[in-house]
Amino acid sequence: MSKKAAIQRAALELFVEQGIDATTTKQIAARANTSEGNIYRHFSSKDALAETLFFDHLLPFLEALDVAVSSREHMRDRLAEVVRIFYRTFDEDRVTFSYLLLSQHQHLAKFTESAETPVTFIHRLVQHAVAGGEIRPLEPMIATGTILGTILQPATFVVYGRLDPPLIDYAETVVDTIWRALAPD
Amino acid sequence: MSKKAAIQRAALELFVEQGIDATTTKQIAARANTSEGNIYRHFSSKDALAETLFFDHLLPFLEALDVAVSSREHMRDRLAEVVRIFYRTFDEDRVTFSYLLLSQHQHLAKFTESAETPVTFIHRLVQHAVAGGEIRPLEPMIATGTILGTILQPATFVVYGRLDPPLIDYAETVVDTIWRALAPD
Amino acid sequence: MSKKAAIQRAALELFVEQGIDATTTKQIAARANTSEGNIYRHFSSKDALAETLFFDHLLPFLEALDVAVSSREHMRDRLAEVVRIFYRTFDEDRVTFSYLLLSQHQHLAKFTESAETPVTFIHRLVQHAVAGGEIRPLEPMIATGTILGTILQPATFVVYGRLDPPLIDYAETVVDTIWRALAPD
Amino acid sequence: MSKKAAIQRAALELFVEQGIDATTTKQIAARANTSEGNIYRHFSSKDALAETLFFDHLLPFLEALDVAVSSREHMRDRLAEVVRIFYRTFDEDRVTFSYLLLSQHQHLAKFTESAETPVTFIHRLVQHAVAGGEIRPLEPMIATGTILGTILQPATFVVYGRLDPPLIDYAETVVDTIWRALAPD
DNA sequence: CATGAATGAGTTTTCATTCAT
DNA sequence: AATGAATGAAAACTCATTCAT
């Protein structure tokens, strides 16, 4: 692994474990087996590192969501794909998933305001489904909340040891539950 | 308002706005119109202040949940009470609600592990309802996730300006949505 | 006991236990069962309190030495009186003795430079005895060192638990030892 | 001189001049011509610096005492070596000597309780000499006090300007004085 | 007299970032 | 590219002293 990649991985882990503020460049360097100075050869600042980490993982994730959804026509199938993507990502790399989807980043708020995020992605999905009569005529943001909340809360529970992984085992149940909540009468 | 209360309010607001780590004692003192030193007359450390703030608000909130739930017999009615408590609390004092329920506190993780929390409260509610056949026989932690996620995600959306307050207006819709997800066939 | 006396005693004890710098006015107030503010009603500052404490005890001690020495003619008898005064003072109030004679007060150095101290007292005694041929013709400061060192070092040992009190039990031995060191051939 | 060594020297001097508590990291940094932050690259805290300073100098000093004493058989010769070591050390580096032997370190009391110190060293020497009949049958701690007190008090006098250096000039007189005090009849 | 809340200057310590090598 | 010593600005925290009551 290149030093740059080692720094990224070390930072990602520490940011998730402790939060960005509580993580020091010294800790990152130590875990990446390099020097503090070297971090600055690869990243212009700790904040830039945090931001890079965010978008480097967010874009492929959104891309995966996009591909999966495009491959299906019906909302229920699309939801099933979405849940599978979320949970497969979680099971494969819990740290990245947590950084992207569970952490509260006051830091990143400024960037995510304008950009595409999982929230805007699902919101669009919902709007389309409501328009097509595929789900109940709910305020789209409420439906989005139901979907995201129902998907993410179990992930939080695994992180805090309240639920046993892998999450993919719950995918079908979660999809079914969401669908019951949103399906037209 | 006593200086102690002013310090608590200032800290609460700043902790929610910026996170605990990113908030300095200098900022707290400035917003509370007092000196940094005075913070330490009333709290032994910044962390102790954060903790006090957490439990001082958590306990009445849990108590309110308890009272509300005890007043009802059926799970659907109990859920309706729970949602109302959450959303009324949010609408009345968004800052406190955010601090208690939306913030990720690496700091407080150690305390909440053992203590009663909204999660454990709802989990117990769910277990009881599953046992009584009042909701579908789901893994209780998944049902808990559906309830909490569906309740909290809209609150997050209001905070980020994606949904218009007051949240109480969505209470019925949210209860109905949760109930569709959990009701026995 | 008046509050003023309580403050003095509390301060004396704490200064000896921890050093003057390491002792806070808060600790003094707590041990004296009063408030910090009240210290300033009786003393203008912590340093003034430390200084008062020093001279309030030093002067009677020097006076006692003076009286004792004046009552004897021969150097050996005078030495015996001096040792008895030192050790009786120690046994009666170890804290005061330690504050006066064992503590290193960078604080008080400025005062003791000009004033009479146990060192100057014994130095004068020695000069007189050398002049009278009562002790060997040693450099007076060396003889002074022998006397003071031989008297005080056992006190230090009691404080650190290396020697069992009461010190008065060692008085004769100490006098004899000093006398062997200083007696003319 | 490396910055680390400069910090150590600056701290040593200031600790002796003013006491540990009264010395600020700012002063240390200024005298060492470096930044306060840099102190913490090399020492984990001001107290750790004070402790390092103590043991780094104590151990070679004790080693020197040990070597000197081992080279002689008779108690008087051993004492002469001991006094020479003390006074040569003083004359060469009064600051280090003062820090090791004249300062009262409430800080270090906890460490010196268990460890070997000049006191324990001389105490052992005395016990051995009493057992061998080389000195009078005194309570060993009293004899130890006589030796240490007679050696150290002149050092204190030089520090306070009451006696002219170099101390080595008084070595023979001091040894003779101690020997008169302790020699068997 | 007495209190204890409040102050503010100062202390130790931390840490992102820079720089000489 | 890489190191790690060094910096300096700012952080949390302390504490003698003051002041309103």
Mean pLDDT of A139-158: 96
Lowest-pLDDT range, A98-102, B60-64, C151-155, D103-107?
D103-107
**Total count of residues recorded for chain A:** 185
Query: What is residue D108's DSSP assignment?
Result: T
Mean pLDDT of B163-182: 98
In the structure, what pLDDT confidence band is assigned to residue C1 with cuts at 50, 70 and 90?
confident
Lowest-pLDDT range, A100-114, A133-147, B28-42, C163-177?
A100-114
Nearest to D14 by CA among D99, D128, D135: D99
Q: Mind telling me how many Å the CA of B30 is from chain A's nearest CA?
A: 21
Provide the pLDDT for residue A76: 98
Q: CA–C1' span, A49 to E17, in Å?
A: 14
Smallest Cβ–Cβ distance between D21 and the set C22, C151, C160 belongs to C22
Provide the pLDDT for residue D3: 92
In the structure, what pLDDT confidence band is assigned to residue C112 with cuts at 50, 70 and 90?
confident
Provide the pLDDT for residue A99: 96
Tell me how far apart the alpha carbons of residues D6 and D71 are, in angstroms, rounded to a whole number. 35
A83: pLDDT strictly greater than 90: yes
Strand E contact at CB of residue C26, distance < 7 A: no
Strand E contact at CB of residue A47, distance < 7 A: yes
What do you get for the CA distance between the two ends of chain C, in Å? 54
The model's pLDDT over D115-166, given as tens digits with 9 standing for 90+, comes to 899 999 999 999 999 999 999 999 999 999 999 999 999 999 999 999 999 9
**Percent of chain B topping pLDDT 70:** 100
Strand E contact at CB of residue D24, distance < 7 A: yes
Provide the pLDDT for residue D109: 78
DSSP sequence for chain B: --HHHHHHHHHHHHHHHH-TTT--HHHHHHHTTS-HHHHHHH-SSHHHHHHHHHHHHHHHHHHHHHHHHHT--SHHHHHHHHHHHHHHHHHH-HHHHIIIII---TTTHHHHHHS--HHHHHHHHHHHHHHTTSS----HHHHHHHHHHHHHHHHHHHHTTSSPSPGGGGHHHHHHHHHHHHS--
Provide the pLDDT for residue B113: 76
* CB half-sphere exposure, B55, CA atoms < 13 A: 13
Nucleotides of E under 7 A from a protein CB: 1-20
Residue D2 CA: distances (Å) to CA of B150, D15, D16, D45: 62, 20, 21, 19
The model's pLDDT over C122-160, given as tens digits with 9 standing for 90+, comes to 999 999 999 999 999 999 999 999 999 999 999 999 999
C115: pLDDT strictly greater than 90: no
Lowest-pLDDT range, A151-160, B95-104, D113-122?
D113-122
Task: Tell me the count of C-D CB pairs closer than 8 A.
Answer: 124
The model's pLDDT over B32-74, given as tens digits with 9 standing for 90+, comes to 999 999 999 999 999 999 999 999 999 999 999 999 999 999 9
Mean pLDDT of D16-36: 96
Average pLDDT value for chain B: 95
Average pLDDT value for chain C: 95
Strand E contact at CB of residue D36, distance < 7 A: yes
DSSP sequence for C63-86: HHHHHHHHT--SHHHHHHHHHHHH
A108: pLDDT strictly greater than 90: no
Do A147 and A99 contact (CB within 8 A), yes or no? no
Long-range contacts of D158-167 (CB under 8 A, 24+ apart): D158/D90, D158/D94, D159/D94, D159/D98, D159/D102, D160/C109, D160/C113, D162/C119, D162/C123, D162/C141, D163/C139, D163/C141, D163/C142, D163/C145, D165/D90, D165/D91, D165/D94, D166/D87, D166/D91, D167/D86, D167/D87, D167/D90, D167/D91
In the structure, what pLDDT confidence band is assigned to residue C167 with cuts at 50, 70 and 90?
very high
The model's pLDDT over A9-38, given as tens digits with 9 standing for 90+, comes to 999 999 999 999 999 999 999 999 999 999
Strand E contact at CB of residue C35, distance < 7 A: yes
Provide the pLDDT for residue C66: 97
In the structure, what pLDDT confidence band is assigned to residue B172 with cuts at 50, 70 and 90?
very high
Q: Does D55 or D104 have the greater pLDDT score? A: D55
Asked whether the beta carbons of residue B145 and residue A141 sit closer than 8 angstroms, the reply is: no
The model's pLDDT over C36-91, given as tens digits with 9 standing for 90+, comes to 999 999 999 999 999 999 999 999 999 999 999 999 999 999 999 999 999 999 99
Q: Please enumerate residues of A whose Cβ is less than 8 A from a Cβ of B.
A: 17-19, 21-22, 102-104, 106, 109, 113, 119, 123, 138-139, 141-146, 148-154, 156-157, 160, 162-163, 170, 173-174, 177-178, 180-183
Do B184 and B156 contact (CB within 8 A), yes or no? no
Mean pLDDT of A132-159: 96
